[in-house]
Amino acid sequence: MADRSFLDWPFFEPQHRALAERAREWAETELGGIDHDDVDGACRSLAAALGEAGFLNLSAPDAKEIDSRLDVRALCLMRETLSYREPLADFVFAMQGLGSGALSLFGSDAQRRATLPGVRRGERLAAFALSEPRSGSDVAAIETAAVRDGDHFVLNGEKTWISNGGIADFYVVFARTGEAPGAKGLSAFIVDADTPGLEIRERIDLIAPHPLARIGFADCRIPAAAMIGVPGDGFKIAMSVLDVFRSTVGATALGMARRAFDEALDRAGSRQLFGAPMSELQMVQAMLADMAVDIDAAALLIYRAAWTKDSGAARVTREAAMAKLNATETARSVIDKAVQIYGAAGVTSGNVVERLYREIRSLRIYEGASEIQKVVIARQALFEHKKHAL
Ligand code: CAA
C-alpha cells in the first residue's frame, strides 16, 4: 500500500483528500481482471465504469466558469491512483480529458452541450489529433489543411500516433487554416469519427498496448461550426490543453513509481539473501532511499504545478514541463531499480515490475518528449533572466 502521507500536504482541499480515498477504494475493488488481449473492448468497458462511478465528471466538467472547468489536482490524484493499480484505466481516464480538453477550455456552450455529457458518461470516447508523420515535436509545422468552402471546411492530411485512434467517437483535430505562417495559422476542429473522408489507415502496436492509430483525412467535409475557438488559435489551444495535461502525465508516472517502490519494498523484505532479508543489505537500502527521494521530489513538483494552475495562474507552462520531465524520468529510474531488486523475476513476463518497465517508456515521449520539456524550461529561464536584467 503506497505511502499516503502526501495527502496532508497543503496543496490539497478537503474534497481532494476525499476524492483520493474514494478513487483508491474504487480502484482496489473494480480494476481486477482487465483483458489486455482486447484493449479496445477493455477501454470501452473501463470508460463506462469510470463514467458510472462519476470520475469522468472531472475529465469533462460541467462548470460554466472557464477557471473552474478543470481541477488539475483532482486530475493528478485520479491518474496517480489509477496508474498505481491499472495503467490502462489511467489511459482511458486521461484520454477522456485530453481528447475533450479543447472543448472544455475553449468550446462554445453549444459544442460543450453536444459532446461533453457523452464523454462524462463514458459513452463517447475522445481523441486528441495533433501529431503528424512530419510534425511530432514541432507543432508549428503541421501540414493537415482545412480549407473553407462555404459553410464547411474540407480537411486533407494525415495524423499519427493518435491515442484512441480507431475506437474514438470523435477527434479534436488541429489543422492549418493559413491565417499566418507557422504557429499562428492553425485552428482546432471537432470531427465525428463517422464523418465521410476520415479514415483509420493503420492500427499501431505498442510495447505496452493501448489503442493507437494513424488516421487520414481525404476531402473530409466538416461544418464551419465545428471549429473550436477562433481561426488561427489552434496552436495556443493545443498548448493550453497540454499545460493542463502535462502535469497529469507526471502524476501517472508517479503512480507507477509508487507501485514499483511498494513492490520493491515487499521483495526486499521477504527475499532471503546471504542468510538475511535483502533489505538488510546496504546497497539495497541505497536503492530504496533513492527511490523514496525521487518519488517525493516528483510529487512535490506535480502538486506544485497543479496547485498553481488551480489557484488561477494564467500559464503554468514551466511548472507543468518541470513536473512532467522530472516525474517521467525519475519514475523510469525507480522502476528500473525495482526490476534490479527483483533480479531475474523482474524481467519475467507477467511480473508487475516487468509490466511497469514497459509502461513507463512512452511517457517520456508523448505530450512533449523530455527534450521538449527542457526547451520550454530553458526558454522561460532565459526570458525571466533577461527581463530582470533590464
Ligand atoms: N499557452 C499559450 N500560448 C502559448 C503556449 C502555451 N503553453 N506556448 C506557446 N504559446 C504561444 C507563444 O506565446 C507564441 O505566441 P506569441 O508569438 O504571440 O508570443 C506562440 O504560441 C508560438 O510559441 P513558440 O514560439 O514557443 O512555438 P514553437 O514553434 O517554438 O514551439 C514547442 C514550441 C514548445 C516546441 C511546442 O511546439 C511543443 O510543445 N511541442 C511538443 C508537442 C507535443 O507536446 N506533442 C504532443 C502530442 S499529443 C500526445 O502526445 C497525446 C497522446 O497521444 C497521448
For residue 314, the model assigns a pLDDT of: 86
Separation of 342 CA from ligand 1 center, angstroms? 40
For residue 32, the model assigns a pLDDT of: 87
For residue 3, the model assigns a pLDDT of: 81
Separation of 245 CA from ligand 1 center, angstroms? 13
For residue 300, the model assigns a pLDDT of: 98
pLDDT digits 0-9 by tens, 256-266: 999 999 999 99
- E strands, 184-309, are 186-192, 198-203, 212-223, 227-228, 272-273, 276-277
Residue 122 has pLDDT above 80, yes or no: yes
Separation of 26 CA from ligand 1 center, angstroms? 36
pLDDT digits 0-9 by tens, 177-232: 999 999 999 999 999 999 999 999 999 999 999 999 999 999 999 999 999 999 99
For residue 2, the model assigns a pLDDT of: 74
Burial of 367 per CB tally in 10 Å (0-12, 13-18, 19+):
buried
Sign of the CA dihedral 299, 301, 302, 307? positive
Q: Which atom of ligand 1 sits closest to the CA of residue 235?
A: 21
SS3 312: coil
Nearest to residue 84, comparing CAs of 335, 255, 332?
A: 255
Could you say which DSSP state residue 390 is in? Answer: -
Mean pLDDT of 74-92: 98
pLDDT digits 0-9 by tens, 275-300: 999 999 999 999 999 999 999 999 99
For residue 67, the model assigns a pLDDT of: 67
Question: Of all protein residues, whose CA lies closest to atom 24 belonging to ligand 1?
Answer: 183
SS3 157: strand
For residue 182, the model assigns a pLDDT of: 97
- The pick from 139, 237, 361, 362 for probing ligand 1's pocket by mutation, whose C-beta has the most ligand atoms within 8 angstroms, reads 139
Residues touching ligand 1 (Cβ under 6 Å) are: 128, 130-131, 137-140, 161, 163, 183, 235-236, 239-240, 242-243, 315, 317, 366-368, 372, 375-376
d(CA 123, CA 365): 28
Crossing angle between the packed helical segments 109-121 and 87-106, to the nearest 10 degrees: 170
d(CA 50, CA 240): 25
In percent, the amount of the chain with pLDDT more than 70 equals 98
Separation of 218 CA from ligand 1 center, angstroms? 27
Sign of the CA dihedral 339, 343, 347, 353? negative
For residue 241, the model assigns a pLDDT of: 95
Crossing angle between the packed helical segments 234-270 and 87-106, to the nearest 10 degrees: 160
pLDDT digits 0-9 by tens, 25-75: 999 999 988 988 999 999 999 999 999 999 999 999 987 776 667 999 999
Contact yes or no for 72/248 (Cβ under 8 A): yes
Single pTM value for the model: 0.96
d(CA 335, CA 84): 12
Contacts of 351 (CB under 8 A, 6+ apart): 342, 345
Degrees (nearest 5) of the Cα angle 32, 248, 52? 45
Helices (H), 86-200: 87-106, 109-121
Contact yes or no for 234/175 (Cβ under 8 A): yes
Separation of 140 CA from ligand 1 center, angstroms? 8
Grid coordinates given for 118? 457523452
Question: Of all protein residues, whose CA lies closest to atom 51 belonging to ligand 1?
Answer: 367
SS3 177: coil
Sign of the CA dihedral 176, 182, 187, 189? positive
Grid coordinates given for 208? 505496452
Q: Which atom of ligand 1 sits closest to the CA of residue 365?
A: 50
* 253 beta partners: none
Question: Of all protein residues, whose CA lies closest to atom 39 belonging to ligand 1?
Answer: 368
For residue 270, the model assigns a pLDDT of: 97
